[in-house]
Amino acid sequence: MKTASNLPATQAALSILVVEDDPDLRDALGLTLRAAGHQVQLADGGPMALEMLGRTPLHLVVSDLRMSPMDGLEVLSQVRKLEPQLPVLLMTAFGDVEKAVAAMRGGACDFLMKPFEPDVLLQHIARYALVPPQSEGLIAVDVRTRNLLGLASRVAGSDATVLLAGESGTGKEVFARYIHSQSARARGPFVAINCAAIPENLLEATLFGHEKGAFTGAQTAQPGKFEQAQDGTILLDEISEMPLPLQAKLLRVLQEREVERVGGKKPIPLNIRVLATTNRNMAGEVEAGRFREDLYYRLNVFPLAIPALRERADDIVPLAEHHLTQAAQRSGRQLKLSAAAAAILAAHSWPGNVRELVNTMERAVILAPGNVVEAEHILLPSALKPTTTNTVSPQTAQLPAANESAGLANTGAASPERMKDLEREHILATLASVGGSRKKAVEKLGISERTLRYKLAQWRDEGLFEEKQA
């Protein structure tokens, strides 16, 4: 058997979780993978592995099949529930072949038969590890977003119709463009049409095109959006807003892969990929009779649920920094976020999602006089609403909004400095009450771990907090 020191280092370091209850084999696997340049986390069994899952982004899980009290099949099942796109590679002995077959049916990417050589392990890792290609402007720091990016990357390799669902402002079109950019049609056109923005009487001609004289004002023939997307991708944005009569015509286009212009008699063959987005519950729309069931199933070949920004909290500050840089560059400036400003952003619930965050960064560029965006330059919606009970400055008004998310009451006329003191006292008291456990503290406070880390780091730098070492 080759020693780890004789193995060549890989070109790209991957983050791998190894689950093995045999300490000698676990250490040997860790040594082999680290020698190949990978970042490795070691778990002595299923329970420990599930605790570690989600702490940092992973590219692959390597797990033994025969373990106790939780075997590899259960580990696989739990990983599928928590991070459905994360590949799981199982290790098994010859006598467990039937279980290995069951594991493959359960979603394992492959299995290794013990004993195996280190280079065989590395070959499997290179083949199956999830490394979704990055795209400029698409920030994927949070584990949920990285998993979603992996799904998008995989479906991009096919021509399957994708339905992207999510709240307004979550970036559905950004993900749609990512799918197009990673597909074989990337060199073809990407044509997007907002079904809610075009009047009903014009939508059909806009989608399918029209011949000369098809209606009053049609002085020349015009190709529709479907024809314009030939050999590329068409995005039907907010598809749930399409009128019912037009849904029937769209269904035929999707089924036959051909379009007939308004006023025309000759069908035009289509070679396109179809993506659609919605901010509604499509199953509910079908049940209510507002959307055709057959069209829904035609579009919902591969559903992608885009989580709200509050559900991928680790993306908030990186997204803010990205859009701050873009907004500042348009003004010929260079700006960065202070720790206090980042903490306020991380604590906000973002009902308007990424679109609201972009607007907030635009305002910050206008308000920040220097090169640093401070807390008082972050104006959130609660700060922009007029108040009938107290008259306060916008700078004072926005601070309680962040504090309320940390479990503090809005004290109205308190100064910004006092509000910060109250916030710090409340958070540190809560942290002390749970024995210093950050996980328990954020659950009681109702904030994210990232927010807590920012605040503690800020207070530590200011000499207001000293963390006890275990």
Give me the pLDDT at residue 417, please.
58
Residue 233: which H helix or E strand, with range? strand 233-237
pLDDT score, position 458: 77
The least confident of 163-167, 175-179, 412-416 is: 412-416
CATH class of 4-128: alpha beta
Please give the mean pLDDT across all residues of the chain: 83
pLDDT tens, 221-259? 889 999 999 999 999 999 999 999 999 999 999 999 999
More confident residue, 410 or 161: 161
Domain with CATH 3.40.50.2300 in the chain: 4-128
**Beta partners for residue 17, in sequence order:** 41, 61
251 exposure class (CB count in 10 Å sphere: 0-12, 13-18, 19+): middle
Q: Do residues 432 and 438 make contact, with C-beta atoms less than 8 angstroms apart?
A: no
Handedness of CA 366, 370, 373, 378 (dihedral sign): negative
Q: What is the rounded distance in angstroms from the CA atom of residue 100 to the CA atom of residue 18? A: 17
Q: Which fold has domain 143-307?
A: Rossmann fold (3.40.50)
Residue 50 clears pLDDT 80, i.e. is over it: yes
pLDDT tens for each residue of 352-381? 999 999 999 999 999 999 999 999 999 887
* Percent with pLDDT over 90 in the chain: 50
Q: Poorest-confidence range of 75-79, 145-149, 267-271?
A: 145-149
pLDDT at 425: 78
According to the model, what pLDDT value does residue 391 have? 34
Q: What is the pLDDT of residue 409?
A: 33
The rounded distance, in Å, linking the Cα atoms of 324 and 329 is: 8
pLDDT at 77 over 80: yes
Cβ pair 75, 54 in contact under 8 A: no
pLDDT, mean of residues 67-74: 90
For strand 233-237 and strand 273-278, is the pairing parallel, antiparallel, or unpaired?
parallel
CATH class of this structure's domain 311-461: mainly alpha
As a whole number of angstroms, the distance between CA 36 and CA 175 comes to 33
The angle, 0 to 180 degrees and rounded to 10, between the axes of the packed helices 353-367 and 316-330 is 50
In this prediction, residues 62-89 reach a mean pLDDT of 88
Residue found under tokens 């910050």: 364
In angstroms, rounded to a whole number, what is the distance separating the alpha carbons of residues 164 and 186?
19
What is the 8-class DSSP label of residue 262? B
> What is the per-residue pLDDT across 117-135, written as a single tens digit (0 to 9) for each?
999 999 988 888 866 666 6
Give every CB contact of residue 248 below 8 A, 6+ residues apart in sequence. 292, 295
Residue 95, pLDDT score = 63
Q: Return the sign of the alpha-carbon dihedral for residues 108, 110, 112, 113.
A: positive
- State the virtual CA torsion across 78, 131, 145, 327 in degrees, nearest 10: 170
Instruction: Tell me the average pLDDT across 399-423.
Output: 45
Instruction: State residue 133's pLDDT score.
Output: 67
Between 415 and 74, where is the model more confident? 74
Q: Determine the average pLDDT of the residues in 276-297.
A: 96
Do residues 173 and 235 touch, judged by C-beta distance below 8 A? Answer: yes
For residue 157, what are the CA distances in angstroms to 65, 172, 183, 255? Answer: 31, 18, 5, 21
pLDDT tens per residue across span 141-158: 887 888 788 888 889 989
pLDDT at 132: 67
Q: Which helix (H) or strand (E) holds 191?
A: strand 190-194
Q: Using the predicted structure, report yes or no on whether residue 403 has a pLDDT greater than 50.
A: no
What pLDDT is stored for residue 380 in this prediction? 87
Statement: the pTM of the whole predicted model exceeds 0.75: no
Is residue 335 within 8 Å of residue 324, measured between CB atoms? yes
Mean pLDDT of 302-313: 93
pLDDT tens across 95-113, in order?
Answer: 666 766 777 777 788 888 8
Residue 39 reports pLDDT greater than 60:
yes
Given a cut of 70, whether residue 411 has pLDDT beyond it is: no
Q: Which of 301, 5, 276, 307 is nearest to 142 (CA)?
A: 307
Please list the residue range(s) of the chain that carry CATH number 1.10.8.60.
311-461
